Structure 1
């Protein structure tokens, strides 16, 4: 390597995993999972403008994740500092108790972090990305660096698959479907769409056009990829057949994305952040 490859670098499990476009579906899965934490979803509902600008917020979140994975050390530090300043100014009220709490409480940051990285990993593996058990644990361990960026003590964050499973088991009594959870899940499943999507009306629920059916299939796959206990909280089924159907669907989506990318000009097959990182590392 000849330059600054950031926190992880080309030999990392993180770079191997995040080159997969199917991780976009993992991001959607993580939002469904995060919304089952009553305080976490209340904090988003009371502070975020996601309803007014859902796609802009999604792009900003994707840019942050991409910067952490592929950005230079300086770019990562700048993005993380900006995020911590933003969180430090925010608070919300627990609708169950009336208690005001800070958005940057470690318990909330930890839940969001674990739900996100576990969703990325689970989605990729079930889509057919080949990772050994050692690489799975390696990804969780590498992502302690991401956890530290948002203000967490890495020693308090699950760092292996077994630790993540134990963490979920300990968290389940605190989770559940609230009004904010239900409204967020409905919004994620039937969001407004940009007006240029096939010339459809602004709100997806007003039409049964192709983009709606395609997106509903994607959202349904994301829900199907949730752990059985999480699907049950949303009123779904924990049957193994649901897991099998979701696995077949996500593998099909990964193959479809690969075909679409193969048909595009080479400059569109890789994200600009990854291309810049490879340039800095002398591996373009």
Structure 2
């Protein structure tokens, strides 16, 4: 998937959309899990599920449009770009099988290609954009690589920045020091392997450096990955891989249970190591001061618990795309993630996007002091605003209505479980029976205005 994503990002249309709108740098594991789930739905046996997912993806892509750094327009509905996404997935699967010592026979390759063409057709795109036969696919693929792909900013970020700053996946977030040490070694290796696996024509045109020994390393890595076929049968389904990225509290996967137990032990070991490590207590007042405003940091609230300071809230919650500024793509990413997790259909999805768009207009009007069309961390921290305006209240109301399936203006235990355990993968509060509209809105506003440090919404908008 990493290799296919690089080839996708090298397409000018896709690369521009990724740079402007995607959260793959700040929330890569979340993005990967969503991709896993979407692919599973699109290639599953249930035609109704496939059509519903195709409609959801089309709504998502229709909202992605703008211009790139060279003033070239891009659109998430560009037919050639969408065909190229399918092409990269198919070609990367074939390449993976070949490099891992399991090359596909011609008949299997033809069947696989037919399935990818069916996936493309299910999205509603013109079927003629992808060649009908697999033997005609390879000239098409080579032509796009040679004539259309570019060394885009998105491709460079994936190859040379993403792995350097890759956050720990949720199952390993309790051992950040160990993860950082491993990432420092593994990051450059993964980047070199990915570059070596790309088509030679693209590597040459993009000016990607040749690392000595990278080809041998790449072959060894793929052969090692091929050994996955010897793992126990229950470890291989896609849903289990998705669970490893975002574990469900009640998962029955043996792999998830094993990793969860290992994570618990490693977290305890990490906590013990931190206790044994000397801590520099000087200067005493520094932890209580906001670096932007020099004002005291917010302290714990007796009702909502520890509070995030302005810088932390801006970085973890508001700046979803990780570019250091708050603008519409950040809030659109929030709406996209919430609607994906809650599996919203129309018109609830559009109501949610409209509510976030209204909230963005409120924030822009109140905080964009230099008129550049976006809000910087300094502008946000200097104002220290109360973000619970009318538009944000409407956003909470949309979420409440989407959860209140029976329309009785209260979220009962089953609906609460569906929201926080199924959608957000968080355990519910013990003994919970009902959740009123006002209580739901109060909790959501408490999170989105930065008052509470830890809430069920962290799993959706904060975790990577």
Matched, 1:111 2:111: no
| Equivalent residues, number | 237
In structure 1, C-alpha distance between the alignment counterparts of 2:185 and 2:45, rounded to whole Å: 35
In structure 2, C-alpha distance between the alignment counterparts of 1:238 and 1:229, rounded to whole Å: 16
> Matched residue of 1:92: which SS?
strand
In structure 1, C-alpha distance between the alignment counterparts of 2:84 and 2:236, rounded to whole Å: 32
Write the mapping of 1:49-64 to structure 2, written as runs, cut at 5 A. Answer: 49-64=23-38
**What is the CA-CA distance between 1:162 and the residue it aligns to?**
3.2
> Matched residue of 2:43: which SS?
helix
The equivalent of 2:237 in structure 1 is 270
Matched, 1:66 2:56: no
> Matched residue of 1:189: which SS?
coil
The equivalent of 1:28 in structure 2 is 2
Matched, 1:225 2:197: yes
Q: Answer whether contact 2:15 2:154 (CA < 8 A) is retained.
A: yes
* TM-score under structure 2 length normalisation: 0.46
> Matched residue of 1:70: which SS?
coil
Structure having the higher Rg: 2
**What is the CA-CA distance between 1:192 and the residue it aligns to?**
2.1
Matched, 1:77 2:51: yes
**What is the CA-CA distance between 1:113 and the residue it aligns to?**
1.4
In structure 2, C-alpha distance between the alignment counterparts of 1:243 and 1:133, rounded to whole Å: 26
> Matched residue of 2:38: which SS?
helix
**What is the CA-CA distance between 1:60 and the residue it aligns to?**
0.1
**Residue among 165, 168, 182 paired with 2:156:** 182
Matched, 1:158 2:131: yes
After superposition, the CA RMSD in angstroms is 2.9
In structure 2, C-alpha distance between the alignment counterparts of 1:144 and 1:105, rounded to whole Å: 17
Q: 1:32 to 1:77 in 2, by over 3 A?
A: same
Matched, 1:252 2:228: no
In structure 2, C-alpha distance between the alignment counterparts of 1:243 and 1:76, rounded to whole Å: 38
Q: 1:244 to 1:194 in 2, by over 3 A?
A: closer
Unaligned runs of 5+ in 2: 242-464
Name whichever of 185-194 and 34-43 sits farther off. 185-194
Unaligned runs of 5+ in 1: 1-26, 275-284
**What is the CA-CA distance between 1:123 and the residue it aligns to?**
0.8
Deviations 1:115-158 (A, max 9, x none): 12211221122212242123213311221111112232222213
**What is the CA-CA distance between 1:64 and the residue it aligns to?**
0.7
In structure 2, C-alpha distance between the alignment counterparts of 1:269 and 1:162, rounded to whole Å: 30
Q: 1:234 to 1:253 in 2, by over 3 A?
A: farther
In structure 1, C-alpha distance between the alignment counterparts of 2:87 and 2:186, rounded to whole Å: 28
Deviations 1:215-259 (A, max 9, x none): 5444433332211122332513399x754542232011222x345
Matched, 1:141 2:117: no
Q: 1:213 to 1:139 in 2, by over 3 A?
A: same
Q: Answer whether contact 2:17 2:76 (CA < 8 A) is retained.
A: yes
In structure 1, C-alpha distance between the alignment counterparts of 2:150 and 2:83, rounded to whole Å: 17
**Residue among 19, 33, 49 paired with 1:45:** 19
> Matched residue of 2:161: which SS?
helix
